[in-house]
Structure 1
């Protein structure tokens, strides 16, 4: 539920049996918080007898694991419920249900994702906090923001090339790579695919590749939304378009603002954005990204070729018209975020929602913030949302919210060093 991969290690001789009969895991895996503990309030722990369920391999995900010295493979599994249906608490099932809704209306979504991440030194600074790693080329620690800097790419050339090579070996559709808006921050884009489930499979496996290859090279990689208070956050940007049943784009137009259907999709995304903030930002650190003039949106705004908005239509050829959703952090669960984006777009298309006029200029200066920066408020909005109760299902929301409320309570039960510094000898 928190986007953390969990599984078992099995001998290769078991592979045929797994493809034929599946592999069992407890349903409580989907009730584990970010610390790995089961949240009993979800009803998937002992209340359920901690029952096992069958899991079967996801097509196209059996691939080698090149960063390990011993020949090893990996495969994603999807859980079935006790009656053999897809497990209701699996975020992949939530996304599959929404994709099926769109397809029933003749809408075939195409999705591409962009993920930002930081490389950090394994050794923390004197203050115990993360810091950029030392370049194996220059012997210096990156300490300036050089967005799109070429030298910053060459600093970790071998590491980044191995990420590429590993992605190719695993069939992950990697595309361009840039140094981003902070020391040690990078972004790698994945090419668009016509199956949103596959796009999310690629995203979670890509994150595993980046972390694993970085560790092999003696550094850490993090997709934490805001590892440094004074540097850029890491986002998860989704590019989405729609095809008809003949493969023709329904968003294509000479107009840089796309077709009426594209604008209706944007209208739906804007109308449902506030209710989904607990999905786009799923923990306390996630909300630290939302700062002024930080390329992180503060309201459901839209425009063409404008990075200050939450819903951007990138420039390009008419056939490539699409919307870029820029709200979620890199720490999100990709399946749930893409599910929210597709459901919001579908909502707008069905109801022909007018998004209003596009923003001209800097959205931060022209529109007051309306998206909450509070984890508590976001959870309350998701709980009471008629839209998410309908598209995600109340049964799933009960599990997700119980888990996140428990995680929130655990987080705020801790006393931080800053509290001791500020209050211990002052009040």
Structure 2
């Protein structure tokens, strides 16, 4: 037994944990795995899962057989999942003392699984480490609270708060509107504190019963793990109070979408920002980082907007950015540079949706900036004023277009690997085909008796 695993086993014993939820993230961001008695977990030091778990769609289906056989062993062999002792969280709402342990995945030869989102993020972080760079991120997660709804054909509605009334209108940054759900958020904060999540502020966002939780800046892998845990924690807290929490990118017609804004910066091995010159001005590396984001975000958009619903957030006239323009203190562009001192200079990628897999969105955002720095890419001129009308750097308009663009970008293959690109695109195409089989309420309302 390794020293790290011995420490994990001791932690489980000290906290009297009786069950361990052994989890990995699939491509969608769903936690999949097994629940094991602690004694068995310690004895086996991990778990085995079918490789096919990494090719599951959000509906639980799989990609077509021809691609399936190209991407994994056709016999559907097991992969080996090893616990990360630095990714252990209690499950405060569980009846029995329970811990969630996030695992890494390996094939039978001991090589990291190329289709694993967590492995992809580690691969990108290795690129930075080889340069002596340390990326830092600070995510902001937006989500909606809604009434619980058993019928998916019915539109979602705002929940009833402590006052006994539903919220109406736009209540951006309203303290009273957020306080309507104080008991829910008290549980959420208590549970997150028990899990060691690095939460910062809670604000009421622009939409009706739309909230935002900000995380403190830190290690990208650690924060991706925390987002996976937080989304589950938020849903559990909402259910306890008889409402629902959703991280869909666009859950309600006429309301703003929900984003996962990513603030990102890069330090050197001495902890100094490489985004600033000694005189405090923007460094060439900072501008190249933005140049990389501008060039490659449109090529990697499916990692930021992974679902059909994601593209509803980018509709013209909404508050979401629709391009990869950049500007200082400008929330109307996709890449905002907030005011800060030179050491904390950063860029905020405002394009990822709250529905994105956190490992993949963070990996993609850091990768775009990395390529920009190593290739010396120059950004476009910053936007002054309103940026929604800027059309030079527009995004693909649909998931179909975005997947084709990602699939055809040869420059990404050395970084992501051909297997990952093929597998991810195949999973998202399978989901899209499944979506097109469903007859929507719009079609029934406007076409049933009219055409």
TM-score bracket, normalised by the shorter chain, equals over 0.9
Q: Please tell me whether the aligned partners of residues 257 and 263 of structure 1 are also in contact (alpha carbons under 8 angstroms).
A: no
Q: Distance in 1 between matches of 2:278 and 2:249?
A: 36
- How far residue 31 of structure 1 moved from its aligned partner, in angstroms, is 0.8
Among candidates 133, 153, 160, match of residue 134 of structure 1? 160
**Paired residue for 1:295?**
319
Output one character per residue of 1:68-124: Cα deviation in whole Å (capped at 9) or x when no partner: 233222111111111111111101111111111111112111111111001111146
State the partner residue of 1:50: 76
Residue number among 87, 91, 101 corresponding to 1:75 in the alignment? 101
Shift of 1:255: 8.2
1:285 matches 2:341: no
Given that residues 81 and 88 in structure 1 are in contact (C-alpha distance below 8 angstroms), is that contact kept between their aligned partners in structure 2? no
- For 1:15, the equivalent position in structure 2 comes to 41
Aligned to 1:203, which of 214, 218, 227?
A: 227
Give 1:382 deviation, angstroms.
0.6
CA contact (8 A) 2:267 2:273 kept: yes
Q: Which residue is equivalent to 1:89? A: 115
Distance 1:366 1:373, change over 3 A: closer
- Is 1:150 matched with 2:175? yes
Q: Which residues of structure 2 form unaligned runs of 5+?
A: 1-26
Per-residue CA deviation, residues 216-260 of structure 1 (Å, 9 max, x unaligned), is 111110000000120010001111111111111111359887322
Q: 1:18-51 CA distances to partner (integer Å, 9 max, x unpaired)?
A: 43xx211111111110112233444269952121
The answer as to 2:97 corresponding to 1:62 is no
TM-score for both structures, normalised by structure 1 = 0.94
Closer, same or farther: CA 232–249 of 1 in aligned 2, 3 Å: same
How much has 1:212 moved relative to structure 2?
1.1
Instruction: After TM superposition, give the deviation of residue 126 of structure 1 in Å.
Output: 11
Q: Secondary structure at the match of 1:365?
A: coil
Report the equivalent of 1:344.
368
Q: Which runs of 5+ in 1 are unaligned?
A: none
Distance in 2 of aligned mates of 1:218 and 1:97 = 40
- Give, in whole Å, the separation in 1 of the partners of 2:115 and 2:149: 38
For residues 225 and 94 of structure 2, the distance between their equivalents in structure 1, rounded to whole angstroms, comes to 21
- In structure 1, distance between residues paired with 2:62 and 2:252: 29
Q: 1:115 maps to what in 2?
A: 141
- The equivalences for 1:24-423 within 5 A come to 24-41=48-65, 42-43=67-68, 48-123=74-149, 128-135=154-161, 137-193=162-218, 195-252=219-276, 258-367=282-391, 370-423=394-447
Supply the distance in 2 between the matched residues of 1:91 and 1:329 (Cα, whole angstroms): 16
Paired with 2:44 and 2:138, the residues of 1 have a C-alpha distance of: 30
Pick which of 48-57 and 34-43 moved more. 34-43
Secondary structure, counterpart of 1:275 in structure 2: coil
Tell me the CA shift for residue 377 of structure 1. Answer: 0.5
SS in 1 for 2:108: coil
Q: Contact 2:281–2:342 (CA<8 Å) still a contact in 1?
A: no
Distance 1:378 1:255, change over 3 A: farther
